Amino acid sequence: MKITVSPKAQKWFTEELELETGDNVRFFGKYGGATNVHAGFTTGMEVTKPHHELLGSVAEGGINYFAEETDDWFFHGHDLLVDYDEKKDEPTYFYTEDN
């Protein structure tokens, strides 16, 4: 699984969550809402260290973004693009088939 975090999203995470170099942000699936490929589930995020084997990760601006293998049920077969919606002032999550 490939995770991509846009520069605008990176800035939002750093400022809004008051992240510092070396911090970690986990993405996971949670009940409720929808994504462009999921019905009834949406993308959650939390500031935490990894507790399980990683499914995918990327380091941007000194911050580690990751998903754990325990969430493969949600991410299976997809890559994740994290971007920023200026009108809503929040991150957006878009899924594509993994290569």
Give the CATH H-level superfamily of domain 3-97: HesB-like domain (2.60.300.12)
Residue 91's DSSP bridge partners are: 84
The H or E element spanning position 12 is: helix 7-16
pLDDT single digits (tens) 6-63: 999 999 999 999 999 999 999 999 998 888 888 899 999 999 999 999 999 999 999 9
pLDDT at 39: 87
Task: Please give the single-letter amino acid code of residue 70.
Answer: T
How many residues make up the chain in this entry? 99
Question: Can you give the residue ranges of every domain in the chain?
Answer: 3-97
pLDDT at 34: 87
- Whether residue 99 is predicted with pLDDT greater than 80 in this model: the reply is no
Place of tokens 């992240």: 19
Q: What is the pTM of this model?
A: 0.94
How far is Cα 60 from Cα 9, in angstroms, rounded to an integer? 10
